[in-house]
Amino acid sequence: MEDVKVFGLWSSPFTQRVIWALKLKGVSYEYYGEDLANKSNMLLKYNPIYKKVPVFVHNGKPLAESMVIVEYIEETWSQMPLLSQDAYERSNVRFWSKFIEDKSMQMMEFFVYDGERQERAIKETLETLRVIENQSGLNEKMFIGGNTIGLADIALGWVAHTLPVMEEIVGVKFITTDAFPNLHSWVKNFLEIPAVKNNLPPHELLVEYYREKRKVFLAMAFHHHHRH
């Protein structure tokens, strides 16, 4: 029958995109947890270019890049569509998916630095959230581009679950009802979807994991700063 494998990391918001898409579609899969300090030969074989999770393997054929995988899942299993039938609506959602994808690493920078660089990063994260808040249509719809969960919502999913972990550790709060009412409602809507809600890593474990990660990031940033 169908042979579907996911190579992932339990704490990775990019791995979660793939899991959510599969759960939404009701596709069963085998999950292989990777140790990033000691990557499996399978991971290196299937993703020689980036050597990163997530990797998706369908009947022996590998794919990398979380949003490319999600779009493959969308095209392969038609139930619970993540894109409209209308070409313009599809492209609008793809625009937002790309916008979010392009900005995601930058939006996480406040978590990687401290001091002046962190202040700058916080400002940039706020600016990006402001664009999504005001221009992605969330003032009219429950999700980006419609009233059901779609491709761009899956791209943004980490903002609902991983961002609050990073905020808690750093001691900031971006998405409040006052500052971002549309995004605040979106977070609520997103987390109510059973395929999402029932497939999230436990908050407390994530806090513990990212607290250690932040120490490493700060040490790297310090080292980098003093080397140049």
Q: Which residues make up the interface to a copy of itself (CB under 8 A)?
A: 48-49, 58, 61, 63-65, 67-69, 71-72, 75-76, 87-88, 90-92, 94-95, 98-99, 131, 135
Nearer to a copy of itself, 61 or 223 (CB): 61
Q: Three-state SS for 89?
A: helix
Structure token pair of residue 219: 């040490």
Structure token pair of residue 136: 């992605």
Nearer to a copy of itself, 99 or 210 (CB): 99
- The C-alpha atoms of residue 187 and residue 185 are separated, in whole angstroms, by 5
Shortest distance, position 61 Cβ to a copy of itself, whole Å: 5
Shortest distance, position 11 Cβ to a copy of itself, whole Å: 23
Shortest distance, position 117 Cβ to a copy of itself, whole Å: 12
Nearer to a copy of itself, 63 or 112 (CB): 63
CB neighbourhood size of 28 (10 A)? 9
The count of C-alpha atoms lying within 13 angstroms of the C-alpha of 223, restricted to the half-sphere facing its C-beta, is 7
> Residue 139 corresponds to which amino acid?
N
* Residue closest to 16 by CA, chosen among 152, 158, 111: 158
Nearer to a copy of itself, 69 or 156 (CB): 69
Shortest distance, position 22 Cβ to a copy of itself, whole Å: 15
